[in-house]
Amino acid sequence: MNKPVLPVSSYQLKLPAGGGLIENYRLAASRTFPAKLEGTLNRVAFSAAHVVADPLADVDPWLTSAVDWDRTIAFREHIWDLGLGVAEAMDTAQRGMGLDWPSSLELIQRSVRAAKARGGALVFSGAGTDHLAVEDAKSIDDVVRAYEEQIAAIEKAGGRIILMASRALAKLGRSADDYARVYNRVLSQVREPVIIHWLGDMFDPALANYWGTENLDTAMDIAVGIINANAAKVDGVKVSLLDKQREIDMRRRLDENVRMYTGDDFNYAELIAGDDKGFSHALLGIFDAIAPAASYALSRLSAGDEAGFHDVLGPTVPLSRHIFKAPTRFYKTGIVFMAYLNGHQDHFTMVGGQESTRSTLHLAELFRLADQAGLLSNPEMATRRMKAVLALRGIEA
């Protein structure tokens, strides 16, 4: 990795600093990370990837999604070049917050085709029940049928499955038996082992009391029991509770053949590094925004350079905690803003109009933290684009 020659950059701009104040901010010297994986990885690492909206489509964004398919797939090529897998059509892609099931299926089909054209790049895709309106779900069998429909469509496209949490099941499931009935039935039918995603209600309030209880200790018992009973059909588990100790506890209880994929966007560096009793693999939304740094850090870990791993990945954690701060469900705005700053798209427009969910102050702090972590790949362009967004929000350069 190239080390900066100067301690600061020549680029500067005015940023809001709270309390109505504006500060003159000078960028730090940038860090340069490889555009492609160098070396090997000893962790399986997925980036949950965002979608690029089509800003010129004649649609009402709150009602209809319009996707720029070329830019969306090009971003996945960027992820694959870095040696990471793509977790497709997950909540980072605004699944259930702007992206409906028909659009998600098209995204999955296009992504799977692109992966196969590369000789089998790694991609798993989200199967849920979101085409079944929660108010129309009347029975556990309705939930099972909804899962089966999406799984069949993804498998027909040649895709691997991430079994997403279901809002309909959260509404109807009242006991461990209800959850076991759904997961046992669905897992018995999948062609290849799946990744199970436990998404906490901080990401989606409609998933409160998942596994049939509000008690997280009991929920953990239920989840581990179901997963271990179906270990032959489970590749791994992604836990998105933003609670590192619960992830560690669950990791140590899983069947030895079931991987733990960290979904903890607050504590991923230490969870991936692991301890003397094990480690987590990764399936993270933040890897969308920090993919070059994540790839390089993971390659250093694989080479036995744990200090180098933490030197690169550690400074990204404050940015991630900011992007994923409450209300956590709005984190996608920060992910897409990073893609805009780094040139992966030419606009800051999101499906569902979600670019409006974070404040100017939030975006300004995101810019500072990204800069301080060396994550702005082209500081001149990032500064220019930040100034453009600020100008639209009343702050002139």
pTM of this structure: 0.95
pLDDT in tens, 343-369: 999 999 999 999 999 999 999 999 999
% the chain with pLDDT above 90 = 94
Query: For residue 6, what pLDDT is reported?
Result: 42
Positions of E strands within the chain: 8-18, 21-28, 45-48, 85-88, 123-127, 160-163, 194-199, 234-240, 259-262, 281-284
Query: For residue 148, what pLDDT is reported?
Result: 98
* Closest among 216, 208, 223 to 329, alpha carbons compared: 208
Query: For residue 117, what pLDDT is reported?
Result: 97
Q: Is the pLDDT of residue 5 over 70?
A: no
Q: Is the peptide bond before 327 cis (omega within 30 degrees of 0)?
A: yes
pLDDT in tens, 267-311: 999 999 999 999 999 999 999 999 999 999 999 999 999 999 999
User: How far is 193 from 160, CA to CA, in rounded Å?
Assistant: 8
Q: Is the pLDDT of residue 2 over 70?
A: no
Helix, strand, coil shares of the chain, percent, nearest 5, are 50, 15, 35
Pairing relation of β-strands 259-262 and 123-127?
A: unpaired
Q: Is the pLDDT of residue 9 over 80?
A: no
Query: For residue 135, what pLDDT band results from cuts at 50, 70 and 90?
Result: very high
Residues spanned by CATH 3.20.20.70 within the chain? Answer: 38-358
Q: Is the pLDDT of residue 195 over 80?
A: yes
Query: For residue 363, what pLDDT is reported?
Result: 98
Positions of E strands within 259-314: 259-262, 281-284
What is the fold of 38-358?
TIM Barrel (3.20.20)
Pairing relation of β-strands 45-48 and 85-88?
A: parallel
Q: In this structure, which amino acid lies at residue 389?
A: V
Question: Which residues, other chains included, contact 348 with Cβ-Cβ below 8 Å and sequence gap of 6+?
Answer: 336, 337, 340, 355, 385, 389
* Closest among 35, 30, 40 to 9, alpha carbons compared: 30
User: How far is 338 from 320, CA to CA, in rounded Å?
Assistant: 11
Joined tokens for residue 285: 């939304």
* Closest among 73, 171, 173 to 123, alpha carbons compared: 73
Mean pLDDT of 63-67: 93
CB 239 within 8 Å of CB 263: yes
% the chain with pLDDT above 70 = 97
Mean pLDDT of 56-61: 94
Query: For residue 129, what pLDDT is reported?
Result: 98
Pairing relation of β-strands 21-28 and 45-48?
A: unpaired
Joined tokens for residue 89: 């059509």
CB 223 within 8 Å of CB 199: no
Query: For residue 82, what pLDDT is reported?
Result: 98
Query: For residue 8, what pLDDT is reported?
Result: 59
Q: How confident is the prediction for the chain on average, in pLDDT?
A: 95
